[in-house]
Structure 1
């Protein structure tokens, strides 16, 4: 009996070549948007999204499983966790300096630097890592799909056949 859940990946030289050409530009643009920061349109969320989409584009062109093996789950978890830790550390650092969570004006009072550098650190080091990691992880999770085997007791067709119940009943 043929497997009804076969892999739908088809190698296309056109798509692979196009992605090889486009991916460096989209990655560069994503990093530009990330480093552009809070001073203008752009920032960590938009840049992280574009970087994540670049990885998704590579997965579509060269196969999801090879890309999943290239970006191990531990790397993606580290990316997300690192972003959350950086975000939290900066926010809690502002509390340690005598302000509120993410109150960047404490940077001016204590270190005599512009408060915008706190926002830049959050956008570049925290949010962009979280967004790109979550986006890639969600894609891999959805691409994994579901297992076609059902646990017993779910009322599946096999269980009905065992009890002598037909679909016509």
Structure 2
């Protein structure tokens, strides 16, 4: 059993501060994502700021309510969608006769700037992957790891609490 109290304590100061700051950090993260090709930033940095905004909400309003609000299927969809978009754009360039992510084929075939291919990869692929991975890693680490919990609640896979020996009580055999 752990020696610390890990229960959620509500703080009106933190909740109010997060309510005020979160819209600005989310807007800044989206700004960085959408202006990545023209200014410092991009999909990685913007996705990080968006992901950290969700973490900030979890710290203020509780990890479990935030985890329930952002279901695992949604976070998995973010990461999977980003990978699919990234791969589809890369493979699309191969289909146009170029190399993987060779955006100059966009100019040759569609007469549009190669920059739009990079923007699509950053906005549609990288930012979704990064924000989803940050959020999922946070929830995974917040669940913790204790060998005495059954699988599905952060414990060791296949170990049932009833079947595991208690560390405080040594097993006694009949041979003694």
Same fold flag (TM > 0.5): yes
Aligned to 1:126: 125
Quote the residue 1:69 is aligned against: 68
Alpha-carbon distance in 1 for matches of 2:59, 2:168:
35
Deviating 4+ runs (over 6 angstroms): 152-156
Can you give the 5+ residue segments of structure 2 that lack an aligned partner in the other structure?
Answer: 150-158
3-state SS, counterpart of residue 37 of structure 2: helix
TM-score, structure 1 length as denominator?
0.88
Could you list the per-position Cα deviations for residues 68-122 of structure 1 after superposition, in whole angstroms to 9, with x for gaps in the alignment? Answer: 0000000000000000000000000000000000000000000000000000000
* Counterpart for residue 145 of structure 1: 144
Match of 1:162 in 2: 171
> How far 1:64 moved relative to its partner?
0.1
Is 1:23 the counterpart of 2:33 in the alignment? no
Displacement of 1:37 in angstroms is: 1.7
- Secondary structure of 1:42's aligned partner: coil
C-alpha distance in 2 between matches for 1:13 and 1:5: 23
Higher helix share: 1
Name whichever of 149-158 and 77-86 sits farther off: 149-158
For residue 39 of structure 1, give the secondary structure of its aligned residue in structure 2.
coil
Distance (Å, rounded) in 2 between the aligned partners of 1:103 and 1:40: 21
What do you get for the CA RMSD once the two structures are aligned? 2.3
For 2:39 and 2:165, the matched residues in 1 are separated by 56
1:38 deviation in Å? 2.0
1:81 maps to 80
Compared CA separation, residues 154 and 66, structure 1 to 2 (3 A): closer
Q: Which residue of 1 aligns with 2:154?
A: none
Corresponding residue of 1:107: 106
Q: Which residue of 2 aligns with 1:46?
A: 45
Equivalent pairs counted in the alignment come to 162
**Partner SS for 2:36:** helix
- Structure 1 unmatched ranges of 5 or more: 165-169
Q: Shift of residue 155 of structure 1?
A: 8.6
Aligned equivalents of 1:115 and 1:22: distance in 2?
36
CA–CA separation in structure 1 for the residues paired with 2:2 and 2:29: 39
> If the length of structure 2 is used for normalisation, what is the TM-score?
0.85
Secondary structure of the residue aligned to 1:61 is helix
Query: How much does 1:3 deviate?
Result: 8.0
